[in-house]
Amino acid sequence: MSTPRRGIWIILKKKQDGRNDDNVKLTCLGCWGAYPAGGSANSSFLLEEEQFYLLVDCGSGVLSQLGKVIPIESLSALILSHYHHDHVADIGCLQYAMLIQNQLGKRDKPLPIYAHGEGENLFHTLSYKHYTEARRIFAEQAIQIGPWKVEFCPTRHTAYCLAVKFTGNNHTLVYTADTGWSDELIDFAKGADTMICESSLYKDQKDLVQGHMTAAEAGELAEKAGVKQLILTHFPHYGNQQELQEQAEEVFSGSVELAKEQKIWIFGNTLL
Ligand SMILES: [Zn+2]
């Protein structure tokens, strides 16, 4: 009796601390659009599977939040949706971090930074000596990053921006990045398990700001795409965030949650 009991305990323990390699661990590092509220960060997420750590966007405050989650030298790769400041502001400091960790002997390879090269952009600045390495992505070209198949879809935004779909062992996750309403995103996100969707505006602000969506539109997008779970992010600095959740819930039949720094989700758990 003792052997199977111990075996079960080990599996459950792995699940509780999120270190089961079959799981995807998603950590929110920040939830704000434009600039971070005090002590927080711009909208950003860390994806972890098979001990591969992929940072998704790197705006202001993200590096500070990342250091609370993993040793900075453990970061495996960064992917950028677009070049607005609230998605790239911390890259210079990230490059210095890689330099210092290299000098300390804790890291010996460049950090890959995946990003598009369309329009006015900072692509040429993403490579820094041999500490970070720019890798160009294209909307029509799926790539493999660590354990994930990664696909892209151009969004409706004021700068060229790519939504990203991550398909891992047990879970498909779509990150809309910044976008106005887009029928293309419905097809792109079809059947995904989780959608992380921008929610920059309240319902009564529809079409007030070009290139961003209301919480109700985020809910409608999730409903039409048939995803199971919606995580709202990229919040405005006014009003009551709880209303954003309620406005999405009015139109989406699945689960809606608000992003918040250091909030963790674990997906792909087949035994619970
Ligand atoms: Zn933007």
CA of 20 to the centre of ligand 1 (A): 34
**In angstroms, what is the span from residue 211 Cα to ligand 1's centroid?**
8
CA of 160 to the centre of ligand 1 (A): 9
Catalogue the E-assigned strands of 19-120.
Answer: 24-30, 44-49, 52-56, 77-79, 111-115
pLDDT, tens only, 75-91: 999 999 999 999 999 99
**Does the reported pTM lie above 0.85?**
yes
What pLDDT, on a 0 to 100 scale, did the predictor assign at position 268?
Answer: 77
The greatest distance separating any two alpha carbons of the chain, rounded to the nearest whole angstrom, comes to 65
Range with lowest mean pLDDT among 6-10, 225-229, 248-252: 6-10
CA distance 18 to 106: 24
**C-alpha 126, offset from chain centre:** 19
Contact 86, 34 (CB under 8 A): yes
pLDDT for 161 beyond 90: yes
Which residues does 107 contact at the CB level (< 8 Å), separation at least 6? 73, 98, 101
Rounded Cα–Cα distance for residues 36 and 242 (Å): 18
- In angstroms, what is the span from residue 262 Cα to ligand 1's centroid? 22
Q: How far is the CA of 110 from the centre of ligand 1 (A)?
A: 27
Report CA(100)–ligand 1 centroid distance (Å).
30
Q: How confident is the model at residue 120 (pLDDT cuts 50, 70, 90)?
A: confident
Cα(79) to ligand 1 centroid in Å equals 15
Give 21's pLDDT tier (boundaries 50, 70, 90): low
Distance (angstroms) between ligand 1 centre and the Cα of 103 equals: 34
pLDDT tens-digit series, residues 162-217? 999 999 988 999 999 999 999 999 999 999 999 999 999 999 999 899 999 999 99
Tell me, in angstroms, the distance from the centre of ligand 1 to residue 209's CA.
12
Q: Quote the ligand 1 centre to 157 CA distance (angstroms).
A: 7
| Ligand 1 centroid distance, CA of 89 (Å) | 12
How far from 194 is each of 5, 164, 224, 225, CA to CA, in Å? Answer: 33, 12, 13, 10
Provide the percentage of residues in the chain whose pLDDT is more than 70. Answer: 90
pLDDT of residue 269: 58
Query: Which has more pLDDT, 10 or 53?
Result: 53
Structural domains of the chain ordered from first start = 20-267 (3.60.15.10)
- Flag whether pLDDT at 230 surpasses 90: yes
Q: Are the C-beta atoms of 180 and 163 separated by less than 8 Å?
A: no
